[in-house]
Amino acid sequence: MIPALIVFAYLAVILYIGIFAWRGVRGQGAAEEYFLAGRSLGPIVFLLSLFGTNMTAFTILGSAGHAFANGIVTFSLMASASALVIPLTLFFIGTRLWALGKQFGFITPVQMLRDRWECGHIGTVIFALQAGLLVPYIIIGVMGGGTALRAITGGVIPYWFGGGIVALVVMGYVFFGGMRGTALVNAFQTTLFLSFGVAAFVVIGQGIGGFPSAMESLLADPDTGPLLTRERISPLYYFSYTFIPLSTIAFPHIAIFCLTARRLAQFKGTVVLYPLCIMAIWLPCVFLGVAANAMTGTPAIAQKLEARQALAIAPAEMPAADREALRRQAAGDDVIPVMLEAFAPLWLAGLLGAGILAAVMASDSQILALSTMFTEDVFTYYGGTARFGEAVQVQTGRAFVVILTVAAYIIALGAPQSIFDLAVQYAFSGFAALSPLLVAALFWKRSTKWGALAVALWVLLAVILNARAPGLLAWFGLLPVVPMTVISSVLMILVSLATPPPSAATLARYGW
């Protein structure tokens, strides 16, 4: 019961933070205040919130589960690659987005693309594609909330009710607090992530009698020894993964967040400290996931290891349902909760619950981003704000938040999570393949709207192909994200060169 109480206290705190932020959203400039926190976030909130926005349930649970099955490679595959690529994209692209937003008053990336390439409906196509790729994340967030609350309360709160509570809380602070509320909540959540990782590492390390002996026992066993190397992963597959973090800056919620900084200098601390934050959160989670393989004395983990062995020697004719059941049993997404249950005091288990909820509630930024995009790229673009005024624009944004959250909740109740898990994977590749759009818009004056349209249509086709025929784009052992991004870049270049550039007046406005 104590963990459940801590979690509910946590939900109350973030709801309060979000509603507290509501006070600034009124009067002149209300849209910029609601959607961008008045472009006034300070350096600490900017760093913590940008980092928190990018953290999902996968960061704490999925990373440990991946490491439990695949070993230390998880860290270099997903964390250290991001530690290099994400700050670089913030440095080169994020700062320019900020400058354009400041100069021309842009609130969304599509506004910038429309202006830069002198296009209208092509911008709407890009908006629709971005929105379509973002929706699965929001649904996954609601599903994760329901699952987490059910687990934390030992089943007292059913999935449908837990999902409803989480959806309501997220909707509450996004509705009232807008970007300022979301940013403050994300900053609070990141602080929680950071303290959780270190606390869990220390407590579990003491509990299992020290990590050196755990590592030696893993090395002594030929089945688990390779987990401490990367020999089970091909170098090409490993190389492919460095393309995935390109998706970060192409995510609308990250690009929009870049516009919230008060000054350009705010990016400095974020760019420098981002790799350290990644290390502080991922390293303990990955290491604990690997170390869990040595905890054969813990029944829940022993069962997982047995299921993994049974899967490894399963005959080819084993029914798919049995194979899937074994796979689920062997999955390690809950190894950190299991380890904490075995070794941690109740308060830390409660902190864990709050940490998990904080992670799954990363959907707040995505809900706000979709609302911002809808009101700016559709409502305002097609004349809504000019006709009804800025106050109605903000109310439209809020209404969109409610509609989106309710729709996500209804879908989450009826659809199997596996579908959306897959959709999220495709979306990562899709956003990475959209990154050439931003690069071309910001750095290549000869790029054109037709090049942008070609990229958008190709990404749409590639995502559908990936979903319909997995493996079709996995050429030469590479992940599909590599050919997708390379073809996007080539299309942007070839189609742009074959079509007329934007007018000299527009290019001059962009400093060319």
For residues 238 and 388, which CB has a smaller minimum distance to other proteins in the complex? 238
Q: Using CB atoms within 10 A of its CB, is residue 390 exposed (0-12), middle (13-18) or buried (19+)? A: middle
Q: Which of 42, 105, 210, 477 binds other proteins (CB under 8 A)?
A: 210
For residues 116 and 398, which CB has a smaller minimum distance to other proteins in the complex? 116
Q: Smallest Cα–Cα separation from 366: which of 248, 511, 242? A: 248
Rounded distance between C-alpha atoms, residue 79 and residue 139, angstroms: 24
Contact between 76 and other proteins by CB under 8 A: the answer reads yes
First to last CA, the chain: 63
> Are 245 and 251 a contacting pair, CB within 8 Å?
no
Q: Which stretch binds other proteins (CB under 8 A): 87-95, 180-188, 301-309, 337-345?
A: 87-95
> Are 134 and 251 a contacting pair, CB within 8 Å?
yes
Q: Which of 20, 22, 40, 72 binds other proteins (CB under 8 A)?
A: 72
Contact between 155 and other proteins by CB under 8 A: the answer reads no
> Shortest gap between Cβ of 365 and other proteins (angstroms)?
23
Rounded distance between C-alpha atoms, residue 20 and residue 305, angstroms: 47
Contact between 102 and other proteins by CB under 8 A: the answer reads yes
Contact between 68 and other proteins by CB under 8 A: the answer reads no
Rounded distance between C-alpha atoms, residue 109 and residue 351, angstroms: 36
Q: Which of 22, 91, 161, 201 binds other proteins (CB under 8 A)?
A: 91
Contact between 512 and other proteins by CB under 8 A: the answer reads yes
Rounded distance between C-alpha atoms, residue 80 and residue 274, angstroms: 11
Q: Interaction with other proteins in 344-363: which residues (CB under 8 A)?
A: none
For residues 280 and 460, which CB has a smaller minimum distance to other proteins in the complex? 280
Contact between 281 and other proteins by CB under 8 A: the answer reads no
> Shortest gap between Cβ of 278 and other proteins (angstroms)?
6
For residues 22 and 201, which CB has a smaller minimum distance to other proteins in the complex? 201
> Shortest gap between Cβ of 283 and other proteins (angstroms)?
6
Contact between 314 and other proteins by CB under 8 A: the answer reads no
**CA atoms lying within 13 Å on the CB side of residue 390:** 11
Q: Which long-range contacts (CB under 8 A, 24 or more apart) does 168-172 make?
A: 169/11, 169/14, 169/15, 169/361, 170/141, 170/145, 170/361, 170/363, 170/364, 170/367, 170/405, 171/367, 171/401, 171/402, 171/405, 172/15, 172/18, 172/19
Contact between 223 and other proteins by CB under 8 A: the answer reads no
For residues 79 and 492, which CB has a smaller minimum distance to other proteins in the complex? 79
Contact between 100 and other proteins by CB under 8 A: the answer reads yes
Q: Interaction with other proteins in 315-344: which residues (CB under 8 A)?
A: none
Sequence-distant (≥ 6) Cβ neighbours of residue 227 within 8 angstroms: 70, 71, 72, 218, 290, 293
Q: Which of 214, 244, 256, 340 binds other proteins (CB under 8 A)?
A: 214
Rounded distance between C-alpha atoms, residue 512 and residue 504, angstroms: 9
Contact between 262 and other proteins by CB under 8 A: the answer reads no
Q: What are phi and psi of 212, to 5 degrees?
A: -55, -45
Q: Which stretch binds other proteins (CB under 8 A): 126-134, 229-237, 362-370, 475-483?
A: 229-237
> Are 429 and 466 a contacting pair, CB within 8 Å?
yes
Q: Which stretch binds other proteins (CB under 8 A): 36-44, 89-97, 305-313, 326-334?
A: 89-97
Q: Which spans in 331-416 are helix H?
A: 335-343, 346-360, 363-373, 384-388, 390-414
321: which 2 tokens? 């349902």
Q: Smallest Cα–Cα separation from 483: which of 469, 498, 472? A: 472
> Shortest gap between Cβ of 62 and other proteins (angstroms)?
18
Rounded distance between C-alpha atoms, residue 313 and residue 305, angstroms: 13
Q: Which stretch binds other proteins (CB under 8 A): 94-102, 161-169, 244-252, 414-422?
A: 94-102
Contact between 36 and other proteins by CB under 8 A: the answer reads no
Applying CB under 8 A, what is the total number of residues that bind other proteins?
Answer: 54
498: which 2 tokens? 């074959």
> Are 151 and 333 a contacting pair, CB within 8 Å?
no
Sketch the per residue contact string, 419 through 458, with other proteins: x for CB under 8 A, - otherwise.
------------------------x-x-------------
For residues 188 and 267, which CB has a smaller minimum distance to other proteins in the complex? 267
Q: Residue numbers of the site for other proteins (CB under 8 A)?
A: 72-73, 75-76, 79-81, 83-84, 87-88, 91, 95-96, 98-100, 102-103, 210-212, 214-215, 219, 225, 228-231, 235, 238-239, 242, 263-264, 267-268, 271-276, 278-279, 283, 286-287, 443, 445, 510-512
